[in-house]
Amino acid sequence: MPMFDKNYIKNELEKINKQVSNKINIYIFGGAAMSYFDLKAATKDIDVLLTSETEIIQLTQALLQIGYQRQKDKDPIYLKMKTRDIIENEDGFRWDIFINKVCGGLTFSEGIKKRSVPFEKFSNINTFLLSPEDLFIFKAVTSRPRDREDMFSLFSHGLDTDIIKNELQNQAKLDESKAWLSYFFVGLNELVTKFHIIFPGFDTYRLLAENEMIEKIILDLIQRKPQSLDNLESKVKIEKEEIKTFIKKLIDADKIILSNGKYHIKK
């Protein structure tokens, strides 16, 4: 499989810049961003995030004008990641394009945007690199080849784990339909197991993931039908006092209510 260095990517960006007439901002993540941080010698593709449909159209049209072609048969992994478009040139260099969300829901939050590092600036294109901490999160919640190796490179580079924890908790609030803390912990656990490293706060991430899953189990049970405290205790298999703690949190969050001795989803 061909690999491409940062000079190749810069040349492609220069070609695109000549084709677009309005300013667009391109946020780069994945292996291409790591190559610019000198954490990877080369990459097979470039993962980019844009924030508007207008910018997406401009970018894809520019790529098609310089000889790229849309990939009709998408890899199942990229279908799962909800790519907006996949476009490749005759060299085999591929653009994986996303709009506002990655991995089926990981939101391009204000925090991620603020931490992005201004990079190459052209007359019509501004490019930004996602921070190493945010790259680490994205890598943790995906399962593509070499994702764990990339996580190890980012970890070795040095990470602010408080940023990671805060952003994960923020993502959990932005999209409550996804178990982001749990997804992250699966990737983190695979990293720790594979490379035998000590990750700061590992047990905290485990607890956050476990609590998230218990909360979602309780909500799912109540969603199916109203539940008494005793019913929840027997089904969730944890102590009643712990159940009460989760129940209080869900009531405080306006997600459930108590009525006639049973907990209901708040309409």
Q: What is the pLDDT of residue 42?
A: 87
The candidate with the shortest Cα–Cα distance to 103, out of 74, 143, 64, is 143
Quick: pLDDT tens for 175-231. Answer: 888 888 999 999 999 999 999 999 999 999 999 999 999 999 999 999 999 999 999
Q: What is the pLDDT of residue 104?
A: 66
The full set of domains in the chain, from first to last, is 6-195 (3.30.460.40), 207-265 (1.10.10)
For residues 52 and 22, is the Cβ–Cβ distance under 8 A? no
Q: Mean pLDDT over all residues of the chain?
A: 92
Q: What is the pLDDT of residue 101?
A: 87
Q: What is the pLDDT of residue 33?
A: 94
What's the token pair of residue 2? 């061909």
Chunk the chain into consecutive blocks of 10 residues (it has 267) and report each block's average pLDDT, rounded to whole numbers. 89 96 94 91 92 95 96 65 87 94 84 95 95 95 86 95 94 87 94 96 95 94 95 92 95 95 93
Q: What is the pLDDT of residue 27?
A: 97
Half-sphere exposure of 262 (CA within 13 A, CB side): 10
User: Beta strand 94-99 with 117-121: parallel, antiparallel or unpaired?
Assistant: unpaired
The beta-strand segments (E) located in 16-110 are 24-29, 45-50, 69-70, 85-88, 94-99, 101-102, 106-107
Q: What is the pLDDT of residue 112?
A: 97
Give the span between the Cα atoms of 12 and 71, in whole angstroms.
18
Give the span between the Cα atoms of 34 and 193, in whole angstroms.
22
Q: What is the pLDDT of residue 77?
A: 61
